[in-house]
Structure 1
Amino acid sequence: MMQKFIIPDIDSIPCRTNIQGQDAKHIFKVLRLNPGDPIEVTNGAGKDYTALISSVSPGNIKVDIIDEHDSSTESALHITLCSGMLKDKKMDLVIKHVTQLGIYQWIPFFCERSIPTPDAKRIKNRHQRWETIAVESLKQCRRSRLPQIFKPLSFENLLDHAEAYDLKIAFWEKATQRLDTLTRNSSPLNVIILIGPEGGLSETEIETAQKKGFLSYSLGPRILRAETAAISSCTLIQHILGDI
């Protein structure tokens, strides 16, 4: 099964457009596709397309988009994962894997036990890298919608953002409530998941989140690393409420 390629801003069908850069090199040198071969394309916003290659070169692939169809890989469950800020490579790992799991949004945030706050330039560079990682993960797992990736928020701003969600879950190592008390809802849900940084959320932060409507749940008797907890929480919620 071939990976998808992203072409944003597809306005009308049929149409002719180009694939350039690394994707063009991959099609030309690795996949060795030829004129007339079909490929799968997505606009990154939930729509899939069938395209036929019309010409190939190392830096430019011309394609004719001939058909539009709804995605079969997107979940009706919209998960927003909120991750306490971690060191660079750990955050990269989280966004890589939760994109594959089907999350809708990802919000990094700063709280009491976060690492020191990077400067604005470094935040911008990290945000751009997270977006690149999400694109590569989307192509690999054949999703059709890129998750929206926020720039890091403060804990207070994050809680304000969470007001509109149907279900708010905070995973905390001291919680006693088990996830098996959750049941599948017949209609799609907007779920927001809160995972602390290394060292977890403080008791004050959990109490504040609970006052904002968050339910505190346990991820089991073992203490998980923050990046493991983030990936595990999305997997479990998708299994209970979604399509895994």
Structure 2
Amino acid sequence: MQKFLIGKEALTADKVVIHGQDAKHICKVLRLKPKDAVSMTDGHGTDFTGCIEKISPDLVEISIVSEKKSLTESPLDLTLCTAMLKHNKMDEIIKQITQLGVTRWIPFYCKRSIPLSDKKKEGKQIERWQTIARESLKQCRRSCLVEIMPAMDFEQVLAFSKECSHKIAFWEASDRPLAPPDTQGSHSAVVLIGPEGGFEEEEIRLAVESGFVSYSLGPRILRAETAAVCACGLVQYLLGDMGGC
């Protein structure tokens, strides 16, 4: 059963009203009818099961049958920070990391980033990425939206990461394989992925001074978007809910 994302404005004490494209999808594509069941989430970790009372392409009215905390969210508060890439590549990263249970995503600029910073375009880019995250959430049946944060520079990312217990920077020049941490600590982690040209040594030095440890993703050179997805899967395996320690 597909899961639908509902906003606070759609939710009352015992009913949900869905408008727009989702209403049209429920009516015309899924061809649901009154008394059919619908799965929903508020995007903040609460799931709802409902029963359709009224349905049209413009409006679907659903009575809430049950409400519960989601069982699909990772216990790991995982932040992925990826250096800016050409934007179709960033789109793909968001789709994949939503499926992997990432909590928040921070795009950032570093010395080898392409494209360079463009404040005029960033607002529209954020809106686009938030839309992609919402659509991916429905597909993978998560219950918490990935938090898409405004673009930062490298120093801001290091400052943001200050309180995280596990700070991981993947760098092609590192020879240290990723391994389970000696201590679990508080359940938060931040992962740094560089641009297509990789981090410069000075950037890794600054990251290490800020508490990061640099790790390798193996002997092959990965595309930046591949590295981002691979890194999230590995970290969720070791620290999250994908079957590790």
Q: TM-score, normalised by structure 2?
A: 0.94
Aligned to 1:44: 43
2-structure distance, mates of 1:76, 1:38: 28
Matched, 1:7 2:6: yes
Cα distance, 1:119 vs structure 2: 2.7
2-structure distance, mates of 1:195, 1:136: 24
Change (3 A) 1:23 1:221: same
Aligned to 1:106: 105
SS in 2 for 1:90: helix
C-alpha distance after superposition, 1:116-175 (max 9, x if no partner): 424323111111010000000000000000011101001011111110101000000001
2-structure distance, mates of 1:129, 1:62: 28
2-structure distance, mates of 1:139, 1:160: 32
Alpha-carbon contact 2:112-2:199 (below 8 Å) kept: yes
RMSD: 1.6
2-structure distance, mates of 1:39, 1:51: 5
Cα distance, 1:180 vs structure 2: 2.7
Q: Give the aligned length.
A: 242
Moved more, 199-208 or 172-181: 172-181
Aligned to 2:222: 224
2-structure distance, mates of 1:167, 1:188: 9
Moved more, 101-110 or 51-60: 51-60
Change (3 A) 1:184 1:77: farther
Amino acid in the other structure paired with 1:197: P
1-structure distance, mates of 2:139, 2:180: 34
Alignment match of 2:197 (pick from 186, 191, 199): 199
2-structure distance, mates of 1:222, 1:12: 49
Aligned to 2:32: 33
Matched, 1:239 2:241: no
C-alpha distance after superposition, 1:55-80 (max 9, x if no partner): 11012111112321110100101110
Moved more, 17-26 or 93-102: 17-26
1-structure distance, mates of 2:35, 2:183: 45
Alpha-carbon contact 1:14-1:64 (below 8 Å) kept: no
Change (3 A) 1:188 1:37: farther
1-structure distance, mates of 2:26, 2:161: 41
SS in 2 for 1:179: coil
2-structure distance, mates of 1:61, 1:223: 49
SS in 1 for 2:8: coil
Change (3 A) 1:11 1:126: closer
Moved more, 174-183 or 89-98: 174-183
SS in 2 for 1:128: helix
Moved more, 4-13 or 132-141: 4-13
Matches within 5 A, 1:52-63: 52-63=51-62
Matched, 1:182 2:181: yes
Amino acid in the other structure paired with 2:224: A
Moved more, 6-15 or 153-162: 6-15
Structure 1: gaps of 5 or more residues: none
Q: TM-score, normalised by structure 1?
A: 0.95
2-structure distance, mates of 1:70, 1:19: 21
Matched, 1:84 2:83: yes
1-structure distance, mates of 2:186, 2:39: 27
Cα distance, 1:17 vs structure 2: 2.5
Alpha-carbon contact 1:78-1:188 (below 8 Å) kept: no
1-structure distance, mates of 2:137, 2:18: 16
Q: Would you identify which runs of 4 or more consecutive aligned residues in structure 1 move more than 2 Å? A: 10-14, 116-121, 180-185
SS in 1 for 2:27: helix
SS in 1 for 2:241: coil
Aligned to 1:130: 129
Change (3 A) 1:188 1:32: farther
